[in-house]
Structure 1
């Protein structure tokens, strides 16, 4: 009887030891999973923070108003050079806000009603090719317009207004305040310096003015 009792006691001791060992390994496994999860979450947080910093770093507010005006000029230069056949243009007024700047160009070539949509189609196609996002359009027959935006937050538009005159505008995002000099881009016709408002379109084109009275 005594021997039987000793055998049961030994068996129970071994069972408790094995149970403890299993619990220890289970705890280690769970702890390891928790550490991996925490590590993954930590990496995600780091990545999210980095993405946020990268996004902030690409915003227009890293430049000042003069630099933004020059960027707008380059955008306007590019689209006007793309139009075929060439049109004559002059500078419109530059306007500034507390942290933004707008450059303007006025087309002095007569664009007839029959050619207006073709003109805007050329512009839109170029902007899409340049990676701009088309934000909206006005499909009015008399006063159509196209509005686009660049990846770095600049807005640009082309619109037909009174007497069929075509206007371009480029708007900067909010940037650092600074003085803004006159545009260094040279018009391909009369500069009309000191003249405002500019004359209505007065240059005829064998193509763009077709059908205009």
Structure 2
């Protein structure tokens, strides 16, 4: 990945998160969180503002995991904690991606880029699908979803099955 600079790596990280959020059906509202740059890498973050109930967190993480695996990511670790589960993966290009459930069930996504050519990095270009909160001012989950916020387990017929290859 050394033929990429930090801006290009940040854009790739954004595309990884864009694709992940597109795979979450029904969709959730999210906002950009802080971007951190270091000597040769970038960390991009997003916070979900949709309420994901305790009963639906496993399904939420399952949707994300299936998308990541289908995208060629290697699942590195799963934290099956009931209140604060997490999922960690790495892309074929060496980008580390994670989702963790934090305070009040808020889902936080993060992509860490590999070390690349130093350059300036701009803020993410993609628009959040909810309010654009000032950095550091993202509220706890406050958006209700009939699906993700429900306090019942997901009926088996409601969970989309992974796509099977066409024969």
* TM-score computed with the length of structure 1 as normaliser: 0.70
Query: Which residue of 146, 153, 157 maps to 1:206?
Result: 146
Q: Which one of 60, 67, 71 corresponds to residue 130 of structure 1?
A: 71
Report deviation, 1:187.
0.6
Distance in 2 between residues matched to 1:180 and 1:76, nearest whole Å: 17
Residue deviations 1:184-206, cap 9 Å, x none?
001111011x3414111110000
5+ residue gaps, structure 1, are 1-59
1:81 pairs with 2:22:
yes
Residue-by-residue CA offset, 1:125-163 (whole Å, 9 max, x unaligned): 000011100011100010101100011110001110011
| Residue in structure 2 matched with residue 65 of structure 1 by the alignment | 6
Q: Which has the higher strand share?
A: 2
Structure number with higher relative contact order (C-alpha < 8 Å, ≥ 6 residues apart) = 2
Question: How far did residue 100 of structure 1 move?
Answer: 0.4
Question: Which segments of 5 or more consecutive residues in structure 2 lack a partner in the other structure?
Answer: 153-167
Matched, 1:91 2:21: no
- Residue 179 of structure 1: SS of its match in structure 2? coil
Question: Whose helix proportion is higher, 1 or 2?
Answer: 1
Aligned residue in 1 for 2:157: none
